[in-house]
Amino acid sequence: MPLLGRRALLGGLLAGAAIPPAPALAKLFAVGRRDAETFTLANGLQAIVLPSRRAPIVTQVVVYKVGSADETFGHTGAAHFLEHMMFKGTDKVPGGEFSRIVSRNGGRDNAYTTFDSTGYHQTIAAAQLELVMRMEADRMVNVHITEREIVPERQVILEERRMRTDNVPSSLLDEAVREQLYGRHKPYAMPVIGYADDIKKLGVNDLLAFYRRHYAPNNAVLIVAGDTTAEQVRKLAERYYGPIARRKTEPRTRPSRGGTDLPQKVVRADARVAEPRWSRLWLAPSYRVGETKYAYALQVLARLFGGTETSRLSRVLVNERRIGLSAYASYSPSSLGLTSFDIGVHPAKSRSMTDVEDGVTAEMKKLLDGGVTAEEVERAQNQLLAAAIYSQDSLASGPRIYGTALSTGSTVADVDAWPERIAAVTADDVVAAARHVWRDDGAVTALLTPAEGSR
């Protein structure tokens, strides 16, 4: 299919155009799927290659199967702190030179830490793949972690926490909500960046121990996307990653239950709040934990109930009843443990939190009692599939999808089967999933409001 025709089709699906299921899905699968080629080195490193000839560039991503949820209370922030330290250099590539070398060669690089994984990525000219692979393999085992480097970097991270969390009322509320939903001191309740008091205490020995325990080829996934082949990637990977010895790793565990004494309500009143928010989060199954059979239906539910401006919440609460300025529902099943299903509304100026809660409750009841139509399900499925196809166009999104999947217990086959599994969801499945998750004994309601007298 020509590129313009493909984009017209996908744009129509994202806009909610009514297209019969079979033709729409068949076209999406045909034009969107990019087959992953895989291999595993003798030391256990998993590799995925996503060839694309659209431009002479490549993206290399190395994802380690460790994140902040693998920390213990009192030592939070280690995974994110180590991510920063990975740029502090080795004997072969001195501190700060990694990013400078990438930049001098016309590329860009960065890293990220999540609850379940830590990733490092570079996008660069295809001819420079060997360069970034050599440097990435080097810092898998040889990075310098010294007191001289840790002291100033600790201040950088503390400032990051102040800017993104301590000075942002909604982030402070979200942190408190997660503690209630998942249970204080438990994985997913502790913030990815860590608590400030813990960040101040983390030292060389803490980070070295974390590095040696988790950074190993058999605990990592290499994804290369772009203008290359599996044969070329294998040859380079064997040369640079192959000699690195595997290490003994510990099994990863996550609680199969959330916080106790649910339901709960968390309120944050803050003078800095300009836009109030009502939200409710429910414990929900992921692909790996809980009633996993609902994971695909919950994705469809989130999309049709509050995923777009034409979804039920936006149509009724925002456009018709003018209760809210905006409304959303979200759900992500890519988690090694339990996850959450979230609904939120920003109230209109003349409306109270009670108005919002009553409005959301009424729409939930309408769905549970009256069901959803086949047309609604089809539209949500098509929008999800179109968004997934668009993401495969990106040399960043494709590798991230596979890296997230493999670091949270899923497989390449699971990623490849996702379109068919989404397409198989029925209207009855959506209602059953909503009934399973929308229960008071798994919910936390959060209210973000201006402080009394601040408006």
Catalytic residues: 83
Tokens representing 368 are 């549970």
Rounded CA separation 228/230 (Å) = 7
What 3-state class would DSSP assign to 199?
Answer: helix
Rounded CA separation 278/165 (Å) = 19
Longest CA–CA separation in the chain, Å = 66
From residue 311, alpha-carbon distances to 329, 355, 387 in Å are 9, 19, 16
Q: If residue 341 lies in a helix (H) or strand (E), which one and from where to where?
A: strand 339-347
Rounded CA separation 221/13 (Å) = 33
What 3-state class would DSSP assign to 115?
Answer: coil
Neighbours of 362 (CB within 10 A): 13
Provide CB contacts within 8 A for 313, sequence distance 6+: 305, 306, 324, 327, 328, 329, 343, 345, 360, 363
Rounded CA separation 46/435 (Å) = 38
Rounded CA separation 130/136 (Å) = 10
Rounded CA separation 182/73 (Å) = 14
Tokens representing 203 are 């030292």
